[in-house]
């Protein structure tokens, strides 16, 4: 199987056999670069769209806060400098992909969580019981299974509601409600 390479000098393309190392352009004989030692590990720099998009959210937040401050000043009839508290200006300038631009949150809650973690107490979302541990008493008590009963009552009152409401617009017989 043959591939085509494009020369960075003459921008011409030529056929290339992947089983052979292409050091020179077959059209203009341009050198593709210095030979590397066999033991050198070479990795391409693939930038992640995920890290770019994550950082862009913070940048957009900072830009939109300036617009909100200007609009608020316009509505109140005051200079923009009086609305400067609305601006987000403490984002870090990141030079490397993957670094987070948002500042670290330090307040009473995070300080208390750090103290609890230092003592070995459970902290965070995975610390306590999850939702399935709370459902043991659903089938007992003064109103057993009341959520399921209410759902059945709502479905009976509104005959067109499906068991999968997120997918009901994709059904062939779907009619848009007025």
| pLDDT 10s digits, 59-78 | 888 888 899 999 999 999 99
Distance CA 111, CA 105 (A): 10
Highest mean pLDDT (candidates 42-56, 110-124, 127-141, 153-167): 110-124
Q: Which helix (H) or strand (E) holds 15?
A: strand 13-16
Mean pLDDT lowest among 3-7, 19-23, 75-79: 19-23
Report the percentage of the chain scoring pLDDT > 90. 11
Q: What is the pLDDT of residue 96?
A: 58
How far apart are alpha carbons 63 and 130 in whole angstroms? 38
Range with top average pLDDT, 36-50, 97-111, 121-135, 155-169: 97-111
Average pLDDT over residues 19-36: 75
């Amino acid at each position: 199987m043959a591939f085509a390479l494009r020369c960075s000098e003459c921008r011409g393309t030529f056929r290339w056999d992947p089983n052979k190392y292409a050091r020179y352009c077959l059209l203009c004989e341009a050198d593709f670069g210095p030979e590397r030692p066999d033991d050198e590990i070479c990795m391409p720099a693939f930038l992640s769209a995920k890290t770019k998009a994550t950082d862009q959210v913070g940048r957009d937040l900072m830009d939109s806060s300036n617009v909100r401050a200007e609009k608020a000043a316009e509505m109140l009839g005051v200079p923009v400098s009086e609305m400067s508290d609305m601006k987000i200006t403490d984002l870090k300038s990141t030079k490397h992909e993957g670094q987070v631009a948002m500042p670290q949150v330090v307040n009473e809650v995070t300080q208390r969580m750090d103290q609890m973690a230092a003592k070995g107490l459970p902290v965070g979302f995975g610390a306590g019981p999850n939702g399935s541990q709370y459902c043991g008493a659903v089938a007992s008590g003064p109103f057993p299974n009341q959520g399921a009963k209410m759902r059945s009552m709502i479905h009976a009152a509104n005959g067109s509601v499906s068991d999968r409401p997120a997918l009901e617009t994709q059904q062939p017989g779907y009619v848009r409600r007025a």
